[in-house]
Structure formats: structure tokens, C-alpha cells
Structure 1
């Protein structure tokens, strides 16, 4: 799924979890694409973990953070662990850190297998 500024890569299996890759900008115009992609992915997750790879995100606005929070709430309701992967030098990590959402959204620096 490709938006004008955001590319959502198809789900793939990684370390016993399902990984959804995101590349580009998440702003007011692309946040609905992100929210829809998370909802669709949660419907397809076989296991108990969904990983959002945001290492390719170059901009993350508050609308994107709201979509991530909504996605986390959906995941909790379905009993799915949702983890965000972002590097400290990346735009997504910096935005989430400034907003105080690193722990709230379970942000980690690399894809790790489920415990």
C-alpha cells in the first residue's frame, strides 16, 4: 500500500512475530493510511506480537502519534502485543521521545524475538 508520502510494506514473518514496514512521512494526510494499515495488520496477526518497523519514517507528526496510540489500543483489545522499532537517530524515535511516548508505545531499537 503506497500513499503519496507514506509507503506501507506488506506484513512478513520475523522472529516469530509479524512485521509491518513503514517508509516516508506520517502527517495529517497520511495518518489515516497508518491507522488503517495497523487495523488490517491486527486482523491478520496469527501470533501475539505485531512489530511496526518505523526505521524508514522520515517525519512523524502528532496525527501519526495519535494513529499509533489508537493502534495500540486496538492491539490491547485484541490481546496482541504491538511494538514499534525506531532508532534513536531517526525521526520517529525523536518525535516519540519528545512526546514522552517511548515507554507508552513500547519502542525498541531493533527487532527482537518474542519472549
Structure 2
């Protein structure tokens, strides 16, 4: 017999590993991610990003300052989303100073692809 990993009334573990919230700032949207972006959580991030893209804001700021782990599948989702946003003339800006985010972006050469800012306020300018 395999023991249960969570009680039926508890939310699945992946929902606890990544928290996503959105707020409007003028014409821009800020999507904040806190937790880990990996195989278990990347679908939730994708869904949140594309839900925001449906409103076609001129600027979408993705705040990754609270992300403690960014897996390659998360990087792939960001690249895919950046292309979709550009097709709809939505500008995407990333926010993070956390090494857990900046290091994978740097190691893969994606710092040339994304606009990376130290804080949300600066990204909104």
C-alpha cells in the first residue's frame, strides 16, 4: 500500500509551491510569482501569463523576485510567452535580483532576450 501524500481536502502540492497574484498599475499589469517554477508548477505560470495576455495590456511586468527556483521548463515557458506577447504588441519585462532567477537567464544567454529590472517600480517606467 502506498501512503497518501496529502489529505483529500488539502490543495495539491504544486499549488503550494508557486503563488501567483496579479494587479493593475495604470495600463500595465504586474504578475507576481513566489515559490518554485518547475515541472509541477510551470503550467500554472503559463496559464496565468496567457490569461493576462488575453487582456492585451501594453506592458506586462513579471515579478520573479520571490522565485527560489527556476527550472529549464520555466525558461522555455518564458521564451514561448515572450514571443506570444510580442506578436500581440505587449511588452514583457522581468523583475528579479535573485540569483535563482538571474543565474539561469545568464547561463542560457536569455539576458539578451528579456528586459530584466531590479524592481517593479523601475520596470513600470
What's the offset of the Cα at 1:6? 0.8
* Partner residue, 1:85: 95
Residues 27 and 58 of structure 2 are in contact (CA less than 8 Å); yes or no, is this contact kept in structure 1?
no
What's the offset of the Cα at 1:86? 0.8
Secondary structure of 1:59 counterpart? strand
What's the offset of the Cα at 1:94? 1.6
The match for 1:24 among 23, 30, 35 is 35
* Partner residue, 2:53: 42
What's the offset of the Cα at 1:15? 6.1
1:54-104 CA-to-partner distances (Å, cap 9, x unmatched) read: 0000000000001111110110111100111011x4311121111111120
Distance 2:31 2:55 in 1: 11
Residues 57 and 90 of structure 1 are in contact (CA less than 8 Å); yes or no, is this contact kept in structure 2?
no
Matching of residues 45-64 of structure 1 within 5 Å: 45=56, 47-64=57-74
Secondary structure of 2:49 counterpart? helix
Aligned length: 110
* Partner residue, 1:104: 113
Secondary structure of 1:28 counterpart? coil
RMSD of aligned residue pairs (Cα, Å)? 1.7
Which of structures 1 and 2 has the larger relative contact order (alpha carbons within 8 angstroms, sep 6+)? Answer: 1
Distance 1:66 1:36 in 2: 14
Deviation above 6 Å: which 4+ runs of structure 1? none
Distance 1:94 1:15 in 2: 31
TM-score after normalising by structure 2:
0.80
